[in-house]
Amino acid sequence: MAGLLAANYRSAIVDRIKADDFTYRAGRLTVHLARSFGFCYGVERAVDYAYQTRKRFPDRPVFLAGEIIHNPHVNDNLRAMGVHFLSDDANAADRLGPRDVVILPAFGVTVAMLQQLERRHCTLVDTTCGSVLNVWKNVRRYAEGGWTSIIHGKVWHEETRATVSQAVEYGGRYLVVFDRDEAAAVCEYVRHGEAREAFLQRFARATSAAFDPDRDLQRVGLANQTTMLMSESIEIGEMLRAAMIDRYGEPSLGERFQAFDTICSATQDRQDAVVALLEEQHVDLMVVIGGYNSSNTANLARICAASRPTFHIADPDCLLSPTEIRHRPVGGHHEVTSAAWLPALGTVTVGLTSGASTPDNLVGVVIETLAKFCEIRT
């Protein structure tokens, strides 16, 4: 399937830009491309497996347990190939049988979903990313040792839902924290143990069944959704460590707190690359390409927005004209349309990156569209 994958997702212009020190110049436009961007190994593997599965089983129904990755372009291509999504029909899994082939996405699936598929005797193709499996290993280790897993992640995200199910399956407890503010509330409870009911209400949807903060926050182990912002995960770990020292004393720290680095290396590489781009290059604005439900893409936009005007776009169609762009603001929940986003006169320098679920062909179209817009406005 290598030829088909290359035709669908490679970009000649992106290959040329990589060879030209990750810089593109045309007329008044300069584009600086981050040195690490786009498809990571885990995503490439998952998409490759999905394509190969469709080819390997041409006469059998093929399903995806959920989106293969968080990119609508890739998912739509798979739908066009006749791959059905269980997430499109709440009852579809109940109708599966031995002839059906089910692909498990890069995020993994919950233990309950896996057991359901096994009961239906489906053929399973597992594309779960190795970085996700590493998180599961550590969460299981916490559970087996009687530690509560505190997971820096998004409680609604497929990966985090799969991870917490691993903790429960091995007899453990968990608490999911989204950001520093939620971590601070946990640290406050560790230190003082006050406002129990308010704590339970705040984290009602982010804790294991019968969670008891007085019991379950005495020994905690930190893990992460692999695509979270690395600097925030590190800070949350330090916050929890300090709270445990304040409550129990430093000599007891080894019995109270553990942490393993479970941020995916590809996620870290892309975050590091965009930080380097912002430090080394003058750019008028940043464009970040990737699905709006892509956690790693949203975090790239978050890094950029701290110092530059930043536009997180889902795909090239969001570039409406030299004067209008559709994008999702950092921290927002809905797409908006902004005007006067691209300087109309003079030179313009754009920084560009994309999330780990964004193929190069979309990056290439964005660059070509930017060049066209700048020619129009010259």
DSSP secondary structure code for residue 108 in this structure:
-
The residue assigned the tokens 């990156």 is: 353
Closest CA to 182 of 150, 214, 221: 150
Q: How far apart are CA 300 and CA 230, in angstroms?
A: 11
Q: Which residues are catalytic?
A: 159
Q: Give the Cα separation of 29 and 350 in Å (integer).
A: 8
For 260: left if phi > 0, alpha if psi spans -120 to 50, otherwise beta; the answer is: beta
DSSP state string for 55-102: HH-TTS-EEESS-SSS-HHHHHHHHHTTEEEGGG-TTGGGG--TT-EE
Length of the chain: 378
Report d(CA 358, CA 363) in Å as an integer.
8
- The HSE-up count of residue 84 (CA atoms within 13 Å, CB side) is 16
Residue 201 phi, psi (nearest 5): -70, -45
Q: CA 1 to CA 191: how far, in whole Å?
A: 56
Q: Which two tokens stand for residue 338?
A: 């902004």
The residue among 258, 154, 259 whose CA lies nearest residue 206 is 154
CB 140 within 8 A of CB 166: yes
Rounded to whole angstroms, the Cα distance separating 139 from 220 reads 11
Instruction: State the burial class of residue 52 (Cβ atoms within 10 Å of its Cβ: 0-12, 13-18, 19+).
Output: middle
Reading the block at residue 285, the tokens are 């604005």
Which H or E run contains 182?
helix 180-192
